[in-house]
Amino acid sequence: MSMASLFETLDFGPSLDIAAHSAASAGTNASQLLENQDNLVLIDANGRAVILHAQVERALQLPNWPRGHVRLAVLDGMGGHGYGRQAAEAVAAGLLRMPACASLDELTARLDALHAQLQQQFSVPGDSAHAGHSHRPGTTLTLLELPAGQVPLLYHVGDSRLYEITREHAQVLTIDHVPATAFAMQGMLDAREWWRQVHGEHRPQIAQAFILGNAFADPQRLDDALCALGGAHLPGFLQPLADRRALAVRSEAIYLLATDGFWACHRPQEWIARWPQLLGGAASAADAVHALFGNYRTAPPPGLHLDNLTAIALRFGTGRSLVNIDETALPAATLLPF
């Protein structure tokens, strides 16, 4: 399986190992191919960037990008009378215009502003394709901002995910913005039932997306704003997974940003349970990406729903600022003991 691409031309410096790939579907039959409404953004340590536009990789050089600063993101466009791909492309383009951010406050402010700007762009009065909340498209956004010499910063909206994968575990580091999470926030689901609905089943529903807005406060009404899940908004078992936070990382782990095509199957956790053996011992990020896509094609999980597939794998070298994860997050067995 060949994956040669513009992503391989990027240089992330000596202490970051990063690889990426995006595919329209896992099907081998041409009739099964879907429009790829996913997108991904990689900006390397020299300001060279690669995104998808019209489902084709495009590279460009960003001016005045601070040396050593890296930005990574996966996006999964949805809805809006077929404008899901365009929504994801618009956010990806916005991420190229957005200056490098050195703090979580700055990152949050700039991304919330981009959300509001694009919401207006896709809600032009009189445009039947975009008018009204019911027609407005959206996209997930799971982003890592990596300022030189600092810990990574996470900003997350939607149901794409970030995983930490070692030989022992595949630990999810983000919360899916889905109805089950809204119910858990209202005290209607405990940890076990939330986990069963979100990670043990395939439920293709979403409660919040970039551009689209959120339905956390009232499932019958879409609020324009984004709702950042963290602190008092969340039940105790989800509080370590706040949407916007600095991340503690391990040099021995592979970190995977991925869209939900990878777990769109009847029993997703059974498939994800393969990842420690499949990816945990990968010699490089590129090997991890090849193993993930290759195994998905040759031994797909039962009950597979064809969907777009996008993943960025990264490993942190000892030369980059690292934090002991046990200082800032609960271990997997304590957080989700299922």
Q: Which domains does the chain possess? A: 6-335 (3.60.40.10)
Tell me, what's the pLDDT at 64?
A: 94
The kind and range of the H/E element at 182 are helix 179-185
Interaxial angle between packed helices 84-97 and 104-121, expressed in degrees from 0 to 180 and rounded to the nearest 10: 140
Give the span between the Cα atoms of 158 and 216, in whole angstroms: 12
Give the span between the Cα atoms of 188 and 206, in whole angstroms: 18
Pick left, alpha or beta for residue 213 (phi over 0 → left; psi -120 to 50 → alpha; otherwise beta).
Answer: left
Tell me, what's the pLDDT at 200?
A: 93
- 3-class SS at 8? helix
| Cα 217 to Cα 49, 90, 140, 316, distances in angstroms | 37, 27, 19, 38
Tell me, what's the pLDDT at 319?
A: 55
Sign of the C-alpha dihedral computed for residues 238, 242, 243 and 249 taken in this order: negative
Tell me, what's the pLDDT at 8?
A: 86
- 3-class SS at 79? coil
14 near 317, Cβ under 8 Å? Answer: yes
Tell me, what's the pLDDT at 7?
A: 84
The kind and range of the H/E element at 105 are helix 104-121
Q: Where are the beta strands (DSSP E) in the chain?
A: 16-23, 38-43, 48-53, 56-61, 70-78, 138-139, 141-146, 153-157, 161-165, 170-172, 208-209, 213-214, 244-246, 254-258, 309-316
Tell me, what's the pLDDT at 129?
A: 39
- State the distance between the two ends of the chain, measured CA to CA, in whole angstroms: 35
What is the number of residues in the chain?
338
pLDDT in single tens digits along all 338 residues of the chain: 445 578 888 999 999 999 999 998 755 454 456 789 999 999 999 999 999 999 999 999 999 999 999 999 999 999 755 689 999 999 999 999 999 999 999 999 999 999 999 999 998 554 433 334 457 899 999 999 999 999 999 999 999 999 999 999 999 999 999 999 999 999 999 999 999 999 999 988 999 999 999 999 888 888 999 999 999 889 999 999 999 999 999 999 999 999 999 999 999 999 999 999 999 999 999 999 999 999 999 998 889 888 999 999 999 986 565 544 333 343 333 344 43
Q: Structure tokens of 268?
A: 């997703």
Tell me, what's the pLDDT at 254?
A: 97
- Residue 189's CB is within 10 A of a number of other CB atoms, namely 20
Tell me, what's the pLDDT at 124?
A: 57
- Residue 213's CB is within 10 A of a number of other CB atoms, namely 21
Give the span between the Cα atoms of 5 and 330, in whole angstroms: 37
Q: Which amino acid is at 318?
A: T
Q: Which of 133, 131, 157 is nearest to 212 (CA)?
A: 133
pTM (two decimals): 0.90
Tell me, what's the pLDDT at 81?
A: 52
